[in-house]
Amino acid sequence: MTIQVGDRLPDAPLVKVTGDGPDQIDTAGYFAGRRVALFSVPGAFTPTCSARHLPGFVEKADAIRAKGIDEIACTAVNDAFVMQAWGEATGVGDKVTMLADGNGAFAKAVGLELDGSKFGLGSRGQRYAMVVNDGVVEALHVEEGGEFRVSSAEHLLETL
């Protein structure tokens, strides 16, 4: 079942990419006591994700934080080393935290998996943006297949 506004995020492993390398985190602790804008992309280094989705959040990071967001995080079903390399290649700096969902456990736990096997991608996470307030989903914007609109930084900023 897909997670809904008002639901608490399920506990699922993610790996936070840091300057010192991968750091295993638990969702309960990571999202506790703060308001996080979390967006998901089908894959690091893929066209829309690299050209528009991630750069939009980097560009709008200060404006999003000014609306009461404590942290902006990007997740994808990629390993931590790919997420780290993608963050470095796109210059995210400290504007966006890169969270690896290497086995897709988080995507599955929130019911937002994507079957990308016809494109050679296997099981991935859908493209979406959500606001999580103290572990509870405050807003959720899931894209229809192949679209990029409601999960953009611009759309999220308009809805905050």
Which is catalytic among the residues 3, 49, 112, 114?
Answer: 49
| Residue 138 DSSP one-character state | E
Task: Establish whether 74 is a catalytic residue.
Answer: no
Residue 54 to residue 38: CA distance in whole angstroms: 11
Q: Are the C-beta atoms of residues 37 and 124 closer than 8 Å to each other?
A: no
- Count CB neighbours of 108 within 10 A: 16
Length of the chain: 160
Distance from first CA to last CA of the chain, Å, rounded? 26
Active site residues: 49
